[in-house]
Amino acid sequence: MIGLIDSLARPLMGLIDPERAHTLAVLALKLAPLAPARAEDPRLAVRAFGLNFPNPVGMAAGFDKHAEVPDALLKLGFGFVEVGTVTPQPQPGNPRPRLFRLGPDQGVINRLGFNSEGAEAVLRRLAARASKGGIVGVNVGANKETSDRIADYVSQIEMFAPVASYFTVNISSPNTPGLRDLQQGKVFDELTARVVEARERAARRAGPTPVLIKIAPDLALGELDDIVGIARRRRVDGMIVGNTTVARPPGLTDRQQAQEAGGLSGRPLFALATRMLAETYVRVEGAFPLIGVGGIDSGPTALAKIRAGAALVQLYSALVFHGLRLVGEIKTGLAEALSRGRHASLDDLVGVDAAAMTAEPWPT
Ligand SMILES: Cc1cc2nc3c(=O)[nH]c(=O)nc-3n(C[C@H](O)[C@H](O)[C@H](O)COP(=O)(O)O)c2cc1C
């Protein structure tokens, strides 16, 4: 069914305004009669952060910002879904247009700026589906106008703990002025201290909920040293590498769209994000698992992320160009890689290329 919708709708979706196309895609997922997800290849199962993932392919944050369709996405075969970014208070985000396709490059630029229906609306939806199971993470952020950014993360961790499988603390969106400063040494130390305290307080009521930190791919390696050191010392549960980039790789062909302000994602982000993942992996030394995201558009690119250090992967932009059937293709590609190497699980492959990658010239 979704394959049919996909193949009929995608050529049309490419012609209409990208934000309207996104709204229509969410609506289609709300309305489409979807069968329960097919049985998974058991070799694709991953245990990480104390959770059992049926497969390692997740829907990245930003597609289902308001938790409208997590169950439809799970039925389509994602191993987990990350909803959000959610902000405590509702806010409209930046003026439109704020979402751009770079067709020839298979890239996307967005400067949505955390358009959010707010935590209460999202909590209501997640509470209504809580008994359904499946791994649904909640990505939390800070309101643009807030007197205490860190408090915005803390309050949402306490609020969502009963209904979230895990939390992502998003401090890496380029579209909220000043947000990325939370990645800097002293402030990052205070942030992690306070979110880990919130995690512990919430655990007494709601049981354990892991907290992951999502970082930018644009950090300098010295900054990454500090972040990983602090994350390990404060005992966060994992990291997501990473968010969109403010860089514009020289190879982009859609020069006009490339000038739009915002974060770039999709194929042009792959090399940088994968290198940052490998750099993070060698610094983490197995202290916690990583989620690799940025430019995955095939089985081989998902496998490259795993080999660079990802226990799990997420994607978003490639779905705009390839449709939802990509999820199944990626899982098939990963299963074939396991068969080729006679591996019992993906664990065998996590990080095997990381050290070698960090010795390569920096990607441009
Ligand atoms: C339209 C759009 C909106 C996004 N919104 C969010 C968001 O709200 N929170 C977040 O952490 N990441 C957000 N992202 C970043 C994605 O989660 C992901 O990190 C990034 O796009 C790289 O993956 P991709 O190349 O597979 O798209 C957004 C990305 C896109 C394209």
Residues 6+ apart with CB under 8 A from 147: none
Looking at residue 260, what DSSP letter applies? S
Q: What is the number of the ligand 1 atom nearest to the C-alpha of 240?
A: 19
Ligand 1 near 320 CB (within 6 A): no
Looking at residue 325, what DSSP letter applies? T
Instruction: Tell me whether residue 25 is exposed, middle or buried, using C-beta atoms within 10 angstroms of its C-beta: 0 to 12, 13 to 18, 19 or more.
Output: buried
Chain position carrying tokens 């490419």: 14
Report how far ligand 1's centroid is from the alpha carbon of 169 (Å): 13
Ligand 1 near 137 CB (within 6 A): no
Considering the entire predicted model, what is its pTM? Answer: 0.97
Q: What is the number of the ligand 1 atom nearest to the C-alpha of 108?
A: 31
Side-chain half-sphere CA neighbours of 210 within 13 A: 22
| Alpha carbon of residue 273 to chain centroid | 12
Ligand 1 near 62 CB (within 6 A): yes
pLDDT, one tens digit per residue, over 278-290 is: 999 999 999 999 9
- Checking if the pLDDT of 11 tops 80, the result is no
Q: Which residue has a Cα nearest atom 26 of ligand 1?
A: 315
CB 140 within 8 A of CB 149: no
Of 165, 172, 173, 317, the active-site residue reads 173
Report how far ligand 1's centroid is from the alpha carbon of 139 (Å): 11
Helices (H), 207-246: 221-234
Report how far ligand 1's centroid is from the alpha carbon of 59 (Å): 10
For 66, 117, 152, the CA distances from 125, given in Å and listed in that order, are 8, 11, 20
Q: Which of 11-15, 133-137, 233-237, 246-250 is predicted with the least confidence, judged by mean pLDDT?
A: 11-15
What is the arithmetic mean of pLDDT over 148-171?
97
Top pLDDT among 77 and 21 is at 77
End-to-end CA gap in the chain: 40
Record the tokens describing residue 51, joined without a space. 């959770």
Record the tokens describing residue 307, joined without a space. 């080999």
155 is catalytic: no
Report how far ligand 1's centroid is from the alpha carbon of 155 (Å): 23
% pLDDT > 70, the chain: 96
Out of 244, 274, 317, 327, mutate this one to test ligand 1's pocket (max ligand atoms within 8 Å of CB): namely 244
Q: What is the number of the ligand 1 atom nearest to the C-alpha of 265?
A: 25
Ligand 1 near 296 CB (within 6 A): yes
Ligand 1 near 61 CB (within 6 A): yes
Ligand 1 near 243 CB (within 6 A): yes
pLDDT, one tens digit per residue, over 258-310 is: 999 999 999 999 999 999 999 999 999 999 999 999 999 999 999 999 999 99
Looking at residue 322, what DSSP letter applies? H
Instruction: Tell me whether residue 31 is exposed, middle or buried, using C-beta atoms within 10 angstroms of its C-beta: 0 to 12, 13 to 18, 19 or more.
Output: exposed
| pLDDT score of 185 | 81
d(CA 59, CA 314): 5
Out of 85, 122, 243, mutate this one to test ligand 1's pocket (max ligand atoms within 8 Å of CB): namely 243
